[in-house]
Amino acid sequence: MRVVIAGSSGLLGRDLSDELVRRGHAVLALVRRPTSAPDESSWDPQSGEVDDSVIASADVVVNLAGASMAGIPYSSRWQRRMRESRISSTRVLAEAIARAEQPPAFLAQNGSSFYGDHGDELVTEESDSRGDAFLTVLTRDWQAATDPAVAAGARVCVMRTAPVADRANPLIKLQVPVFKSFLGARLGNGRQYFPVISLHDWTAAAVHLVEHPSASGVFNMCAPQTPTNADYTQAFAKALSRPAFLAAPSPVLKLAAGPMAPEMLNSINLRPAALEAAGYRFRDRSVDQIVAAALRG
- 163-221 pLDDT per residue, tens: 999 999 888 888 999 999 999 999 999 999 999 999 999 999 999 999 999 999 999 99
Domain CATH code at residue 47: 3.40.50.720
Q: Is residue 240 situated within a structural domain?
A: no
Is the pLDDT at 103 greater than 70, yes or no? yes
> 3-state class of 7 per DSSP?
coil
> 3-state class of 6 per DSSP?
strand
Query: How far from chain centre, in Å, is Cα 177?
Result: 24
Q: Which helix (H) or strand (E) holds 105?
A: strand 105-111
Backbone conformation region of residue 259, classed left if phi is above 0, alpha if psi is from -120 to 50, else beta: alpha
> What is the predicted pLDDT for the residue at 212?
97
Q: Is residue 173 situated within a structural domain?
A: no
Q: Is residue 244 situated within a structural domain?
A: no
Q: Is residue 262 situated within a structural domain?
A: no
> What is the predicted pLDDT for the residue at 286?
96
Q: How far apart are CA 14 and CA 75, in angstroms?
A: 29
What does the pLDDT average to over 103-109? 98
> 3-state class of 184 per DSSP?
coil
Backbone angles phi, psi at 111, to 5 degrees: -140, 155
Is the pLDDT at 113 greater than 90, yes or no? yes
Q: Number of structural domains, the chain?
A: 1
> What is the predicted pLDDT for the residue at 177?
93
Among 78-82, 152-156, 264-268, the range of highest mean pLDDT: 152-156
- Residue among 135, 136, 159, 133 at smallest CA distance from 146: 159
Backbone angles phi, psi at 6, to 5 degrees: -100, 135
Is the pLDDT at 69 greater than 90, yes or no? no
Q: Above pLDDT 90, what percent of the chain?
A: 83
> 3-state class of 186 per DSSP?
strand
Q: Is residue 182 situated within a structural domain?
A: no
Band (263; pLDDT cuts 50, 70, 90) = confident
Torsion angle in degrees (nearest 10) through CA of 68, 15, 6, 195: -50
Q: Is residue 95 situated within a structural domain?
A: yes
What does the pLDDT average to over 85-112? 97
Domain that holds residue 23: 2-165+196-224+269-283
Q: What is the CA radius of gyration of the chain?
A: 19
Is the pLDDT at 104 greater than 70, yes or no? yes
Backbone angles phi, psi at 15, to 5 degrees: -65, -40
- CB atoms under 10 Å from CB of 89, counted, come to 28
> What is the predicted pLDDT for the residue at 170?
86
What does the pLDDT average to over 106-120? 97
What does the pLDDT average to over 34-63? 95
Backbone angles phi, psi at 269, to 5 degrees: -85, 75
> What is the predicted pLDDT for the residue at 249?
87
pTM greater than 0.75 (yes/no): yes
> What is the predicted pLDDT for the residue at 123?
98
Q: How far apart are CA 261 and CA 268, in angstroms?
A: 14
Task: Order across the sheet with 26-31: list the strands.
Answer: 40-42, 26-31, 2-6, 60-63, 105-111, 156-161, 217-221
Band (297; pLDDT cuts 50, 70, 90) = low
Amino acid (1-letter code) at residue 219: F
Is the pLDDT at 71 greater than 90, yes or no? no
Q: Is residue 253 situated within a structural domain?
A: no
Is the pLDDT at 3 greater than 90, yes or no? yes
Contact 265, 188 (CB under 8 A): yes
Is the pLDDT at 256 greater than 80, yes or no? no
What rounded mean pLDDT belongs to the chain? 94
Range 148-167 burial, b when 16+ CB lie within 10 A, else e: bbbebebbbbbbbbbbbbbe
Indicate the angle between helix axes 170-180 and 287-296, nearest 10 degrees. 100
> What is the predicted pLDDT for the residue at 78?
84
What does the pLDDT average to over 231-256? 90
- 143-165 pLDDT per residue, tens: 999 999 999 999 999 999 999 99
Q: Is residue 200 situated within a structural domain?
A: yes
